[in-house]
Amino acid sequence: MSLRPILETRTSVPTMEGAGVKLHRAFGFQDPSELDPYLLFDDFRNDNPQDFVAGFPWHPHRGIETITYVLSGSVEHSDSLGNSGTLGAGDVQWMTAGSGILHQEMPKGSGSGQMHGFQLWGNLPSDQKMTAPRYQDVQSTDIPEIIEDDGTAVRVIVGTFWGRTGPVDGIAADPQYLDISIPAGVKKTFPIDTYRRAFAYIFEGGAAFADASRPSGVLLEKEIAGHEVNIRDMSGDRTLVRFGTGDEITVQAGPDGVRFLLISGAPINEPVAWHGPIVMNTQAELQQAFRELRNGTFIRPAH
C-alpha cells in the first residue's frame, strides 16, 4: 500500500453566487486539470436567512453534472423539463445536465433558520456532454452508513466502499463520494484507488492527514486530553486537502473529532472550454451553446 502525498491544503474563501447567496468556495474557475474530473466545490452554510433566501434563480447548465448534498435546511428545485422537488437534510441530488437544462434552486432554512449544504460540479467527457439530462434524487434514508467499532461512521453516497455501494449510479468518471465522521483522537486509514484524483474537505472539528512526502509519512503526535493528535499540521473547518497519487490516506481526528467529505474520481484528461455554468471541450462548442441560449434553442426536445 502507498500513502498519498498532500499536494496542498487551502481554506475555502467567501464568495457570492446566485441572487446574493453568501457561501465559501474551496475551488472553482481556476485550473480545471487540478482536480479533474471535478471543477468546482461550494460550501453554502449560513445561520442568517437573509444570506441565502434569494437563492439561485433560473440559470442554464450544459456539459456537466451538479451534485447537491444538504446537511440542514432544505432546497426546493424546479427545471425547464417540468421536474420539481425538495431536498431535505441528508438528501442528495445528482443532476446530469448533459445537452442542457434550465433550473433553479431555492434554499430554505431549518426551523432554527440554519442552512448548510454543498455543491460539487463534475465534468462530463466529450462523448457524454450532449446526453439527455437526468436527475437522481436520493433520500437520506437510502444512503448506506457503515459504523465501525471505534465509532467511525461513513455514509456512502456514491461508489463502493468497505463492501457497501451508494445509491447513485451510471455516472461519468467513476466517482466516489463519502461523508466520514471520526471520533476524537482516532486514527484511520482509508483506501482510494490509485487511478483516482482525490480531495478531502473538513467541515466539522479538525484532523491531521499523514503525508507521504515526509519520512515514513508519520504523523507528529502529542497527547492532548487523553488522545494522541497531530498538533503541527491540524487542519480545521472549511479546509480542503488535495492529495497526490497513492492508494490510501491516513487521518487522525483532533480532540473534537472530525467530519469531512472524501471525494475522488477518474480524471477525464480532455480539453476544457468553460464559461460560467457551461463547460464544453472547445471554444466553438461554448459559443454555440450561448448562441442557442440567445435564440431559444438551448433545450433539446425529449426523444
Q: Which domain holds residue 170?
A: 6-265
Q: What letter does residue 174 receive in the DSSP assignment?
A: -
282 found inside a domain: no
Assigned domain for 188 exists: yes
Question: Of the candidates 37, 55, 173, which has an alpha carbon nearest to the alpha carbon of residue 103?
Answer: 55
- Structure confidence by residue, pLDDT tens digits, 134-149: 989 999 999 999 999 9
Strands 248-265 and 187-191: antiparallel
Name the domain count of the chain. Answer: 1
- Taking the C-alpha atoms of residue 77 and residue 194, their distance in angstroms, rounded to an integer, is 36
Q: Which residues are annotated as a binding site?
A: 59, 61, 103, 105
DSSP state of 286: H
CB 137 within 8 Å of CB 74: no
Give tens-digit pLDDT for 25-67.
999 998 999 999 999 999 999 999 999 999 999 999 999 999 9
CATH of the domain at 81: 2.60.120.10
Look-up: residue for cell 466516489?
Answer: 176
Residue 22 lies in a domain: yes
- For 284, residues 6+ apart whose C-beta sits below 8 A from its C-beta are none
Q: Which residue ranges make up the annotated binding site for Fe cation?
A: 59, 61, 103, 105
Instruction: Please check whether residue 297 lies inside any domain of the structure.
Output: no
User: Where does residue 130 rank: exposed (0-12), middle (13-18), buried (19+ CB within 10 A)?
Assistant: middle
Q: Is residue 283, in this structure, part of any structural domain at all?
A: no
In contact, 122 and 170? CB cutoff 8 Å: no
Q: Are 63 and 292 a contacting pair, CB within 8 Å?
A: no
User: Would 212 be classed as within a structural domain?
Assistant: yes
Q: What digits encode the pLDDT tens for the residues 206-264? A: 999 998 877 544 454 554 444 454 445 678 899 999 999 999 999 999 999 999 999 99
What is the structure's pLDDT at 302? 60
Q: Is 35 within a domain?
A: yes
CA distance 166 to 175: 11
